[in-house]
Amino acid sequence: MSRRGWLLFGTMSVIWGLPYLLIRVAVRHMDPGVLVFCRTAPVGVFLLLVLLFRGQLRTVIDNARWIVIFGVVEFGIPWFLMSTSERHITSSLTSLIICAVPLFSIVAQRFRRTEEHVTRRRLLGLGIGAAGVALLVGLGVSGGSFTWVGFMLLVCVGYAVGPLILAAKLQHVPSIAVVAGATFSVAVLWSPWALTHWPHAATAETWASAATLSVVCTAGAFFVFFELVREVGATRSVVVTYLNTAIAVVLGITFLREPLTAAILAGFPLVLVGSVLATTSGTRRESVGLEVA
């Protein structure tokens, strides 16, 4: 991999490792639905203006139906569920559960008739990864937290289904048009909730976290990720999912004083190994997902 590729890879890992910490900080004083609005509205408006300036706004209009569906599945519902869960479980556990998204993707892809054959290697990875998730939940979750873990598993479902929508219905649409339309539509859908739940006593730290999530971890993340895919290919770029999880765990332990538990030590290696096995088939066929925290 080139020096530029390593630079993009490192940058992407940090950008997608930050959201778990920032969400945990933001939801202390901000409603999760308001946070979703604050993440998506600036990005959606800015990117739509870029498309308007380029004369490409028609692309979003012509594909509005599936762009909106993609936005709801990939951003609108998952980000609300994730932000809600982070009020009750640690950012470390949240990021570790998200690391299981590739495993959910393998299951989701079986519903596509054109999907390549699932090899024994992938099935082995699916089993190992599932065992890792079971350890994470079984060792690291108390009785009152299973609801929030369930929310995070629904987030994984959304992140697994979103790329399928991209591949089946939006493959011909430029990435910037998809992101612009998806984030803007999610912001519009959440705007009534945001107006009625707007925080009255949010701190500067809360607003800074929300702004960073929008500008850096959403808008900036997509541009860096698309450049990373062009530079190193989709298959290699997927590995960033595992590294940003490790970064998220370190940030949670360092800045939020979250414990390094037996669940993390036992479950994370299994999820990591299982995900790598399940997402590498030995073929050259590649697919790109938008698993954004």
Radius of gyration of the chain (CA): 18
The residue with greater pLDDT, 81 or 253, is: 81
CB 13 within 8 A of CB 177: no
Q: Computed from CA positions of residues 68, 100, 176, 174, in that sequence, does the dihedral angle turn out positive or negative?
A: negative
The residue with greater pLDDT, 47 or 120, is: 47
CB 277 within 8 A of CB 121: yes
pLDDT at 171 over 70: yes
pLDDT at 286 over 50: no
Query: Tens of pLDDT along 39-97?
Result: 999 999 999 999 999 999 999 999 999 999 999 999 999 999 999 999 998 888 888 78
CB 89 within 8 A of CB 258: no
Identify which of 3-17, 106-120, 124-138 has the greatest average pLDDT: 3-17
Domain boundaries, the chain: 3-279
Task: Give me the percent of the chain exceeding a pLDDT of 70.
Answer: 83
Identify which of 39-43, 120-124, 136-140 has the greatest average pLDDT: 39-43
What is the dihedral angle through the alpha carbons of 204, 29, 22, 99, rounded to the nearest 10 degrees?
-170
Q: What is the mean pLDDT of the segment spanning 17-34?
A: 95
Query: Tens of pLDDT along 198-209?
Result: 998 889 999 999
CB 11 within 8 A of CB 50: no
pLDDT band of 288, cuts 50, 70, 90 = very low
Mean pLDDT estimate for the chain = 83
The residue with greater pLDDT, 253 or 50, is: 50
66 token code pair: 């599936």
27 token code pair: 């939801």
The model carries a pTM of 0.84
The per-residue DSSP string of 42-61 comes to HHHHHHHHHHHHHT-HHHHH
